[in-house]
Amino acid sequence: SVTIDVNRCRLTAIHLFHLSRRAYCIPKDDDEEISDDNTFDYDSYSDECKNEVVDIECFNSCFISRYNFCPMFFPGSLQDACQAAFTSKVIKEHRPVLVYIHHDRSIFSNIFCLNIFCSEIIIEYLLENYIVWPWDITFELNKNKLIQIWREVFSTEFLNISLAEQCPMLIGIMRRSARAKDWSLTSEYEVKILLNGDTLTCTQEKLTRETLLGELINLKEEFDENEQILVSL
């Protein structure tokens, strides 16, 4: 069972986020974009973490150290993230899971994190509407671990990521559509790729804060509609 109080974590994150805005400058919609030509430490994230939960803690610590701010990452396993997202008795508390796949050697990762993923508009929307679960595949060991986790949770094979430039990747997770006709499918979840490298996969639009926000809103609306149908079955 999931022992993490997601709502309490979310409220705490929102409070800290707004307090911290007084001390730091978080990119807003009308701010000039920050380039990746800065003094950040570009060393890859540690590959020494040995289990799923500790990996998340390591990644979160490194991410905040580098970027100061980030979406609230779920502090547990992917299985627990899915349970927390979909099993509340209050339907309005259900939300999609957004899996963030990071590769530190991708030319897109740092620009994406600085200018888009860690911007105020994206952080605030994700806090209210998604559970975000991150994973770093910079090292082959961690990539293989994700393949194993994915197979255990979803009973399907993970995507074939052979190039660093396929990252950053954003993957939306929702319960299998109520309209799905093939109920012999082994997984109870649907996987939707939103971002692959610098391309929004559904619309093929240029990646900006606004276009990413639009994709997130569209998936959340689809998710809400599906949850209402599932509850009524």
Burial of 189 (C-beta count, 10 Å sphere; 0-12/13-18/19+): middle
pLDDT in the model for residue 159: 80
pLDDT in the model for residue 9: 55
pLDDT in the model for residue 25: 44
pLDDT in the model for residue 40: 36
Q: Along the chain (233 residues), what's the average pLDDT of each consecutive run of 10 residues?
A: 52 44 46 42 50 88 90 95 94 96 95 96 97 95 93 86 91 86 69 95 91 98 94 81
d(CA 79, CA 65): 26
Q: What are the structural domains, with CATH classification, of the chain?
A: 6-25+71-232 (3.40.30.10)
For residues 119, 122, 126 and 131, what is the CA-based torsion angle, rounded to 10 degrees? -70
